[in-house]
Structure 1
Amino acid sequence: MSTSPIDPLDARLLTTMRRNPRIGLTELARKLGVARGTVQARVEKLTARGVIADFGPTVAPASVGYPILAFVQLQIAQGRLAEAVVALEVLPEILEVYGTSGSSDLMCRVVARSTEQLQEIIARILTSPAVRRTDTTIALSTQVPYRIEPLLRAAVDS
């Protein structure tokens, strides 16, 4: 018996939606061979549970003038995590921030128009007294782009 929070129909629905992001519910139902009401109920259920995180378009930062992608690890002064996060939230080039274990406390995904701008962003990060140290890695290429379909298959098979 599977303990997966999604079933095979959910996986097929999600995979089809990923392959056809502009698909309507009626066409989705036709492709899956199920009733439109079934598709609508599944989409609503998956959205309510947080499985479907959003319906917005995925924007490629390089396509809007930010070709540099970097991962910036931050060491934070003890007890000042919330302060550091507030300082990071005001920088539009910081796309995501994750709390991490290991030698750093936060991992930021940062985009920039140039390496010079990246250096300026790092300098702005370091103006926060909550940030003790940064370590930056620039991404040179994407070897495996974001994907979810293999994980969906594995979730159903487990």
Structure 2
Amino acid sequence: MDDTDRQLISLLRDNARISVVELARKLRVARATVQNRMGRLEREGIIVGYTVRLRPDSEQHGIRAMMSIAIDGYHGEAVLRLLRGHPAVVALHTTNGRWDLMAELRADTLESFDALLNSIRAIEGIANTETSILLSTHKL
């Protein structure tokens, strides 16, 4: 990837629906160049899809949180597999340092959020967790 590819990806991250003509104008390259680069980035698996971003307050789930998770020993793959299948876990990130994983959680009510926390903490291989409720979002 070169600087033009990185600029192209940046523009697409900002607005994945931007037209190829507009991308070419902003990058100061030919439309065919943009199409060829996008095709190559898709074939190489660098761009794996295009998505929609919603305002956080537009979603039904009223409670959003980040859970830091420490995993015992060699249970990482099993824990990841269980969390990937959990409908209230919307994103998982491996990390370095004290915590092994960060999980983004969503729930409709405090009662369902409490049950969610308890169900995750009961997963074999999870040693410790710390959860922070997200109050507001300033940048997506």
Q: Does TM, normalized by the shorter one, top 0.5?
A: yes
Structure 1 residues 26 and 67 mapped into 2: Cα distance closer, same or farther (>3 Å)?
Answer: same
Provide, for residues 116-153 of structure 1, a one-character-per-residue CA deviation record: whole Å limited to 9, x for no partner.
2221111111221221222111111224x13xxxxxxx
1:136 aligns with: 131
| Cα offset, 1:59, TM superposition | 3.7
Q: 1:42 to 1:105 in 2, by over 3 A?
A: same
**Alignment coverage as a number of residue pairs:** 140
Residue 28 to residue 98, structure 1, CA distance change in 2 (3 Å): closer
Question: Alignment RMSD, CA only?
Answer: 2.4
- Deviation string, structure 1 residues 51-104 (Cα, Å, up to 9, x no partner): 434212124454230132211111222111111112211211111112222222
Partner of 2:84: 89
**Matching residue's letter, 1:121:** L
Q: Equivalent of 2:2, from 1, 6, 30?
A: 6
Percentage of pairs with the same residue = 31
2:36 aligned residue:
41
The answer on whether the counterparts of 2:64 and 2:107 sit within 8 Å (CA) in structure 1 is: yes
Distance 2:112 2:43 in 1: 39
Native 8 Å contact 2:71 2:127 kept in 1 = yes
Unaligned regions of 5+ residues in structure 2, if any? none
1-side partners of 2:91 and 2:40: how far apart?
A: 26
Q: State the distance in 2 between where 1:77 and 1:20 align.
A: 40
Query: Mapping of 1:137-156 within 5 angstroms?
Result: 137-143=132-138, 145-146=139-140
- C-alpha separation between the residues in 2 aligned to 1:117 and 1:106? 22
**Displaced runs of 4+ in structure 1, greater than 6 A?**
none
- CA separation of 1:13 and 1:74: change in aligned 2, threshold 3 A: closer
Q: Distance in 1 between matches of 2:55 and 2:88?
A: 13
TM-score, normalisation: structure 2: 0.80
- TM-score by structure 1 length? 0.72
When residues 31 and 77 of structure 1 are mapped into structure 2, their CA distance, relative to the original with a 3 A threshold, is closer
- 2:67 aligned with 1:77: no
Verify the 8 A CA contact 1:87 1:125 in the aligned structure 2. Answer: no
